[in-house]
């Protein structure tokens, strides 16, 4: 028997290809040319990666990329920090996810990725045990978040805020733990710490500045406008240099701010101005009828803004806010110019090693992959949060 050509065209995959890639003769020609170009590029990349690249620079210096010069005897503290952050992240993902995500196929893919990481990464037995434990905590946390989402959701932000002092205590020491000076906080550890603290601090300041810019009080409004416009007119590297050099001049002689604290201050001051403009856009998108209806119900102006206007405004600008967070995370790479050895700074230090001179492609591809993973994760989380809030 011969197959009917019309029935083959009704195949969904063939129909999609015909409508999107081969609808006309010039679209077909363009599709073929693009596939040939992509094949050529992928072939060149794979040939370089398998025959010419020297990935030993990553294998030998993996601990420097991740934690820098953090004392090796205290690695257990960084593993605990990673376990806390991973568990809370998994619980948050479970709360804001659909019930169909934890399927057998998803579990199989997760197990495959974990096994591949354990095989590829050059880790000792203890580190492999920690990774396996964190993988289990990810599954357990995700399941708990899905099962008890209604109970956990109201307390999730508070738990995240309470975890920050614990994380800082584990990293920095004190109160019974051996102290680790901040000049030993390097690599990805410092990048994540600086980004997380700056995001947490800049968000409420940006919201206050946005509310101040829309205030009816002239002093507050003009102060907010002046601050936002001045900071937005100065490049971030200038703010960082001012924070490192000028900020100590405004303090008492006996007060010495740590360089990490000064860098965080610069990032927060810069990011808050842009955050304020994002939030102000959301505030202007809310109709005045919302405020008038709230006042008609007996709410005062502050309560109407906090309970009615601000939640709707923040939900409307979730993509812009998360975009600002992603930009702030990538802007931490500028900290290497003011003497802090974060991920980009530790990469430059590794490239200065005599046996790895000229290995720019391998090193920068690796740290680029790290930046991409975290930025894409934040983007994915924002889309899921936006969808969840839209459904609710």
pLDDT tens by residue, 268-310: 999 999 999 999 988 888 888 888 888 888 888 888 888 888 8
Other C-beta atoms closer than 10 Å to the C-beta of 148 total 13
Helix (H) or strand (E) holding 219: helix 218-232
* Spatial distance between the Cα atoms of 257 and 356, rounded to a whole number of angstroms: 36
Q: How much is the pLDDT for 98?
A: 64
Query: Which tokens hold the place of 10?
Result: 């009704």
Q: Where are the domains of the chain?
A: 6-52, 56-70+185-392, 73-179
Q: Once rounded to an integer, what is the mean pLDDT over residues 122-146?
A: 87
pLDDT at site 8 = 46
Is the Cβ–Cβ distance between 186 and 70 less than 8 Å?
Answer: yes
Structure confidence at residue 343 (pLDDT): 92
Q: Is the pLDDT of residue 5 over 60?
A: no
Q: Which helix (H) or strand (E) holds 319?
A: helix 318-331
Residue 358 — φ and ψ, nearest 5°? 85, 5
d(CA 1, CA 160) in angstroms, rounded, equals 65
pLDDT (average), residues 26-30: 86
Mean pLDDT of 95-100: 71
When pLDDT is averaged across residues 323-343 and rounded to a whole number, the result is 90
d(CA 378, CA 192): 13
- How far is it between the farthest Cα atoms of the chain? 94
- Please state, rounded to an integer, the average pLDDT across all residues of the chain: 86
pLDDT at 4 over 50: yes
**Residue 311: its pLDDT value, please?**
87
Cα three-residue angle 4-8-14, rounded to 5 degrees: 165
Residue 10 pLDDT greater than 80, yes or no: no
Q: Contact 378/327 with Cβ under 8 angstroms?
A: no
pLDDT tier, 1 (very low <50, low <70, confident <90, very high otherwise): very low
CB 356 within 8 A of CB 350: yes
pLDDT of residue 101: 64
Asked whether 197 and 264 are in contact (CB, 8 A), the reply is yes
pLDDT of residue 268: 93
71-97 average pLDDT score: 89
CATH 1.10.3720.10 matches 56-70+185-392: yes
What's the confidence (pLDDT) of residue 99? Answer: 64
As given in the structure block, the two tokens for residue 39 are 């094949």
Q: Is the pLDDT of residue 186 over 50?
A: yes
For residue 51, the 8-state DSSP code is I
């Amino acid at each position: 028997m011969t197959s009917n050509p019309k029935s083959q065209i009704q195949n969904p995959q063939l129909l999609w290809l015909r409508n999107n890639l081969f609808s006309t003769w010039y679209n077909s020609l363009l599709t073929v040319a693009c596939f040939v170009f992509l094949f050529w590029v992928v072939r060149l990349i794979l040939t370089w990666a398998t025959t010419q690249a020297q990935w030993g620079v990553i294998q030998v210096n993996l601990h420097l990329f991740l934690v820098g010069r953090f004392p090796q005897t205290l690695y257990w503290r960084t593993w605990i920090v990673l376990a806390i952050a991973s568990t809370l992240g998994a619980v948050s993902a479970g709360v804001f996810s659909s019930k169909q995500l934890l399927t057998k196929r998803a579990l199989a893919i997760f197990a495959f990725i974990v096994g591949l990481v354990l095989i590829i990464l050059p880790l000792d037995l203890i580190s492999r045990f920690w990774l396996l434990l964190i993988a289990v905590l990810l599954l357990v946390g995700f399941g708990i978040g899905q099962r008890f989402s209604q109970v956990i959701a109201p307390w999730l932000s508070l738990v995240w805020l309470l975890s920050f002092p614990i994380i800082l205590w584990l990293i920095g020491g004190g109160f019974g733990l051996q102290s680790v000076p901040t000049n030993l906080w390097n690599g990805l550890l410092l990048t994540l710490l600086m980004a997380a603290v700056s995001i947490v601090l800049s968000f409420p300041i940006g919201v206050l500045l946005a509310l101040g810019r829309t205030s009816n009080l002239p002093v507050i409004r003009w102060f907010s406008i002046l601050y936002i416009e001045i900071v937005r007119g100065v490049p971030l590297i200038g703010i960082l240099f001012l924070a490192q050099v000028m900020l100590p001049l405004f303090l008492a002689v006996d007060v010495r701010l740590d360089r990490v604290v000064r860098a965080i201050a610069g990032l927060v001051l810069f990011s808050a101005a842009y955050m304020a403009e994002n939030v102000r856009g959301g505030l202007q998108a809310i109709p005045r009828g919302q405020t008038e209806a709230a006042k008609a119900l007996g709410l005062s102006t502050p309560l109407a803004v906090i309970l009615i206007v601000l939640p709707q405004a923040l939900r409307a600008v979730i993509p812009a806010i998360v975009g600002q967070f992603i930009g702030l995370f990538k802007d931490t790479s500028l900290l290497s110019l003011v003497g802090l050895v974060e991920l980009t700074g530790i990469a430059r230090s590794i490239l200065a090693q005599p046996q790895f001179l000229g290995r720019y492609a391998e090193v920068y591809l690796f740290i680029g992959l790290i930046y991409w993973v975290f930025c894409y994760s934040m983007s994915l989380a924002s889309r899921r949060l936006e969808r969840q809030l839209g459904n609710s």
